[in-house]
Structure 1
């Protein structure tokens, strides 16, 4: 029996194919996106899809069912008819794109060493420093967090300085080899690099907070589609030292700001739907004495049904793991807990001045 591939289904649905050499692309999610939004990622290598906003996910048949409202049990028959599989000769497995060889990810000690070396040779643009000041971070906070500006050029020379420290970019997301076989670091748009740390404070990966964009402001630094590169998993991030109670929120930068402004220990997931690595992190934190978790996701979970669904799954997970849990609620004029805390602190400063 001939296999149906993701490229077949995407062509039938009239969705875009990835550009040459790439293995994934973003399209509009029919469940939650507006006309200009594109949160649903289709991975043509793994032949799966997932929406970073509402969490809908699945494989080839699920994608067809999602876009056509065809009952899942009838998808195979309908696809076979539309693709005329019974009339086509058997063919060898093929791809419509060149699949790069992905490098296995390096262990955490080498990732931490390499990222630390990279950040040590980068600077922070004044505009980015002002952005962080406006979030409530002091220069001391910024220095401790090691936030830096994304490098935009001369990256091979930059990585040469990293190599001089003894760091090894092999298997570290964001690094790749040029055609001349030199190591380099990915070129992306301007933004702030955010170190994403594990439960011991080591840098697991990097996120980029893009400038001047409304959609998908935060991107994982990855080089999966480049020679010698590799992907970046959606890591959890811990800001502060674990105690009996921690706060659970969305996004490493938000966690860092909440911790800097309040002193609370904050665990961040990449998104309310991205819970794959959360159980692993919570298991480790429970060994360190954490017993209670307060969730503090952006206030749109109150009105967004897709976020509410993911939130309910999160509550079920915390209950199964035996944690006491509750939810922080604040003035809905402020989207995130970080915004609310900073507004209160500024109001107190104004009253006392």
Structure 2
């Protein structure tokens, strides 16, 4: 049986990992209790706040979900400290996996604009079903996301193929990877879900959707293209879905494997590759943490890397001295709370909020950004809100690539 829930750090609470939240009808981030009568939703507000990091609202269910059983839940192993992760990833992935030519060429395309020396410095790698067999571990790797134990051997997960994007901490240690998938599989998006215990599954042909009741009874089947919608009706209730483009980015995680581990969404620090190269060539001269009085906040490590290498196209050296050229990136806006301790490590005093421009139209993104702004104000940071015309690009990296300058607006103070 495929696991659908993931243990959290709170005893008796589980994340909707591959199962939809009954409140917001999305997967990931939201949690439920073991008994199945309470839900903590990160997207839909209620009168009661359950937790602040991330901001989560408590909802009571009129119809209880089934009690959690062990077979639904992924077994979790505690992740090791950053220094050990950095050593293991450098030895086992950076030194043993290549970057395929096709991935290198993708990074050089006009929409990313990275040059060969920048690509080499940043340490992107490729992962395929054949390449993972090249990774040989000299030691046990319990607590290293991406690795798991199999018959006495420690192996790198084999399945998703694509480009590995390193996530670096304030000490330039690689503490996790995201995989930019070569061929994303379409996903089912729930618009409305009212049929109890109904599963909507996509077959291997990536087009045929099955509607199954508990026990495996098929009550609906339809071939769909991206954007198509499908309504299943049963006993006077209905479930309404849409087939959408699949997620392009996944964490390198072994949480579903024996003694495997989740990366827990690390935060990435990106600086211009010229400075990064000097640091990597002379590590003894840069033993301390990165320091930056002014930083940019965005989402996605690759986006941050590109923005850091192209910010000079949009701003003068004098302007960069004031705004900074250090980027702090989370995997998504909803995980904004993980940024706060990193800002303290960097010694930041000013932040430039530069999430994608859908923060102006997507209600959940807008809500998360509002929460981040409130937290930053509480900590007395100087805050700049960065906006631009969406015709010039979706993300801050697109904007800098086209040599366009955004508007930087001071909030408060």
Is contact 2:97-2:126 (8 Å) kept? yes
In 2, Cα distance between the equivalents of 1:245 and 1:28? 38
**Alpha carbons of structure 1 residues 136 and 168: separation in structure 2 relative to 1, 3 Å:** farther
Determine if contact 1:110/1:168 at 8 Å carries over to the other structure. no
Where does the alignment leave 5 or more consecutive residues of structure 1 unmatched? 1-17, 63-70, 84-92, 346-353
Alpha-carbon deviations, 1:312-342, whole Å to 9, x = none?
A: 1111111111110112222212100101111
**Cα distance change on mapping 1:95 and 1:242 into 2, 3 Å:** same
Is 1:116 paired with 2:84? no
Q: Displacement, 1:29?
A: 6.3
Residue in 2 aligned with 1:338?
397
Q: Contact 2:97–2:131 (CA<8 Å) still a contact in 1?
A: no
97 and 136 in structure 1: CA distance in 2 versus 1, 3 angstrom threshold: same
2:100 corresponds to 1:128? no
**SS of equivalent residue, structure 1 residue 273:** helix
| 2:293 counterpart (241, 244, 248) | 244
Any conservation in 1 of the 2:148–2:154 contact (CA below 8 Å)?
yes
Is 1:143 matched up with 2:143?
A: no
Whole-angstrom distance in 2 between the partners of 1:41 and 1:26: 11
Q: How does 1:190-339 map to 2 (within 5 A)?
A: 190-213=161-184, 214-240=245-271, 241-262=290-311, 264-286=325-347, 290-333=348-391, 334-339=393-398
Cα distance in 2 between the residues matched to 1:94 and 1:304: 32
Could you say what secondary structure the match of 1:276 adopts? helix
C-alpha change, 1:22 and 1:125, in structure 2 (3 Å) is farther
Which 5+ residue runs of structure 2 have no aligned equivalent?
7-15, 51-57, 185-244, 272-289, 313-324, 405-413
Higher helix share: 1
Shift, 1:219, TM fit: 1.1
Q: 2:59 and 2:174 mapped to 1: Cα distance?
A: 41
2:318 aligns with none
Out of 151, 158, 162, the residue aligned to residue 134 of structure 2 is: 158
Contact kept? 1:45, 1:99, Cα under 8 Å: no
CA distance in 1, matches of 2:117, 2:255: 34
State whether residues 198 and 236 of structure 1, in contact with CA within 8 Å, keep that contact through their aligned partners in structure 2: yes
Aligned length: 289
TM-score normalised per structure 2: 0.62
Q: TM-score, normalised by structure 1?
A: 0.72
Contact 2:163 2:180 (C-alpha < 8 Å) held by counterparts? yes
- Confirm or deny: 8 A CA contact 1:191 1:210 kept in the other structure: yes
* Residue 121 of structure 1: how far off its partner (Å): 1.0
In structure 2, the CA distance between the partners of 1:41 and 1:269, relative to structure 1 (3 Å rule), is closer
- Deviation of 1:266 after TM superposition, in Å, equals 0.5
Once superposed, what is the RMSD of the aligned Cα atoms? 3.2
Alpha-carbon distance in 1 for matches of 2:73, 2:29: 17
State the secondary structure of the residue aligned to 2:88.
Answer: helix
Report the CA distance between 1:181 and its aligned residue. Answer: 1.9
After TM superposition, list the pairs within 5 Å mapping 1:100-115 onto structure 2. 101-115=75-89
Q: CA deviation at 1:202?
A: 0.6
Give the Cα–Cα distance (whole angstroms) in 2 for the partners of residues 50 and 152 of structure 1.
Answer: 37
Deviation at 1:215, TM superposition (A): 2.9
